C-alpha cells in the first residue's frame, strides 16, 4: 500500500479539526484550551513537515522548527498567565472569564 500525501494531510487536518473542537466545546478548563492550541500548532507543524517532504524542500522543516520554538514560548507565557489568573480568581473555569462583555 502506497502511502499518499493526502493521507498524511488528512491526519493533520483531523488533528486540527479536533483541536478546534477542543477550543469550541470546552467550557470548563483553560488548560485544555492551551492544550488544544498546542495541538493546533502540532497539526500545522505536521502539515509543514509533510509538504516539506513531498515538495522536497527544506523551508517547511525550518518553519516547523520555528513553530516549535514559538509554541514553546507561547505555552510558557500562557501557563504563566494562567498561574497569575488562578492566583487572583482562585479558579481556572472558562465560564467565569466573562467580565468583559458588551
Partner 1 sequence: MYLTLVFLPLISALVAFFVRFIGNKYAAYICTSLLGFTFILSIKSFYYIALLQNSCYIQTLPWLFGENLIVFWGFLFDSVTCTMLIVVTSISFLVHFYSIEYMGSDPHLGRFMSYLSFFTFFMLILVTADNMVQMFVGWEGVGLCSYLLINFFFNRIQANKAALKAMVMNRIGDFGLSLGIMALFYVCKSLDYHVIFSSILLFVDNSFYFFNIKINLITCICLLLFIGAVGKSAQIGLHTWLPDAMEGPTPVSALIHAATMVTAGVFLIIRCSFLFEFSETALDILTILGALTAFFAATTGLLQNDAKRVIAYSTCSQLGYMVFVCGISGYSTSLFHLANHAFFKALLFLTAGSLIHAVHDEQDFRKMGGLAYILPFSYSMLLVGSLSLTGFPFLTGFYSKDMILELTFSTYLIKGTFAYILGVLSAFCTAFYSFRLIFWAFLAKPNGYKHTYSHASESNFFITFPLGVLALASIFVGYLFRDMFIGVGTSFWNNSIFILPENNFVLESEFIPVYNKLTPVVFSFGGLIIAFCFYNFLIKKIFIVKIFYIKFYTFLNKRWYFDKIYNEFIALPIISFGYKITFKFIDRGILEIFGPTGLITNFTYLSKNISSIQSGLMYHYLFIILLGITITLFTVIVIIQKMLYVSTNLVLIFILAVIGSSLKN
Q: Does 60 bind partner 1 (CB under 8 A)?
A: yes
Q: Does 88 bind partner 1 (CB under 8 A)?
A: no
- Residue placing its CB nearer to partner 1 in the complex, 26 or 75: 26
Give, in degrees to the nearest 5, the angle at Cα 77 between 76 and 78: 90
Residue from the set 53, 57, 70, 81 that interacts with partner 1 by CB under 8 A: 57
Residues in 36-55 at the binding interface with partner 1, rule: CB under 8 A = 51, 55
For the record, the C-alpha cell of 82 comes out as 494562567
Look at the alpha carbons of 45, 46, 49, 55 in this order and tell me if their dihedral is positive or negative.
negative
Q: What share of the chain is helix, strand, coil (3-state, %, to 5)?
A: 80, 0, 20
- Residue placing its CB nearer to partner 1 in the complex, 87 or 101: 101
Q: Does 90 bind partner 1 (CB under 8 A)?
A: no
* CA atoms of 44 and 17, how far apart (whole Å): 11
Site of interaction with partner 1 (CB under 8 A): 20, 23-27, 33, 51, 55, 57, 59-60, 94-95, 97-102
Amino acid at each position: 500500500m502506497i502511502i499518499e500525501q493526502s493521507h498524511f494531510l488528512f491526519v493533520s487536518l483531523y488533528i486540527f479539526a479536533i483541536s478546534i473542537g477542543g477550543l469550541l466545546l470546552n467550557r470548563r478548563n483553560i488548560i485544555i484550551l492551551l492544550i488544544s492550541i498546542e495541538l493546533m500548532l502540532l497539526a500545522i507543524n505536521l502539515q509543514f513537515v509533510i509538504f516539506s517532504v513531498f515538495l522536497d524542500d527544506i523551508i517547511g522543516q525550518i518553519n516547523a522548527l520555528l513553530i516549535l520554538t514559538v509554541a514553546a514560548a507561547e505555552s510558557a507565557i500562557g501557563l504563566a498567565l494562567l498561574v497569575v489568573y488562578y492566583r487572583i480568581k482562585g479558579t481556572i473555569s472558562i465560564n467565569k472569564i466573562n467580565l468583559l462583555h458588551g
